[in-house]
């Protein structure tokens, strides 16, 4: 069974979803409908609390069980994104090299774009090779906001 619940944060509404293995989605609004039951579970509350701490500047790492649903390649990229420290950035090329596919920059970008667990899986920390802020599911203003919150830019 999949559960989800909506919360308001300084950046607007986020929907947090969980399945039997952990947090499986954190979505910006608007988003596609979520299959499951709207219910505020303990794990969803914990995720919301940790996100609140993050937005207050009190949390630099998330401690939540995550449940990735995607291709093997996407999951490999998402796990690598989780290794980017708070306040740091890296490039698509660096992620591609870390996962053993040095010429896979574009594929990394596509996997980044499909990340279903925004902020906790910090795809906002990935930037262009020239240091530019590149596309982001929540929009460029939000990406810049998150990186400024983390003092990464």
Active site residues: 123
Largest Cα span, the chain: 43
For 119, residues 6+ apart whose C-beta sits below 8 A from its C-beta are 14, 26, 51, 54, 146
Three-state SS sequence of 29-57: CCCCCCCCEECCCHHHHHHHHHHHHHHCC
- Whole-angstrom CA distances from 120 to 1, 27, 48, 94 are 22, 11, 11, 20
Buried b vs exposed e over 57-96: b needs ≥16 C-beta within 10 Å?
eeeeebebebbbeeeeebebbbebbeebeeeebbbbbbbb
């Amino acid at each position: 069974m999949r559960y989800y619940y909506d919360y308001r944060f300084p950046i607007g509404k986020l929907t947090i979803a969980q399945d039997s293995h952990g947090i499986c989605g954190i979505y910006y609004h608007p988003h596609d409908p979520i299959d499951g039951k709207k219910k505020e579970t303990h794990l969803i509350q914990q995720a919301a609390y940790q996100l609140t701490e993050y937005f207050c500047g009190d949390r630099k790492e998330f401690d939540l069980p995550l449940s990735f649903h995607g291709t093997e390649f996407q999951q490999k990229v998402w796990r690598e994104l989780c290794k980017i420290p708070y306040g740091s950035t890296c490039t698509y090329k660096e992620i591609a090299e870390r996962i053993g596919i040095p010429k896979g920059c574009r594929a990394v970008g596509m996997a980044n774009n499909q990340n279903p667990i925004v902020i906790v899986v910090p795809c906002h920390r990935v930037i262009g090779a020239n240091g530019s802020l590149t596309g982001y599911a929540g929009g460029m203003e939000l990406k810049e906001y998150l990186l400024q919150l983390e003092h990464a830019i």
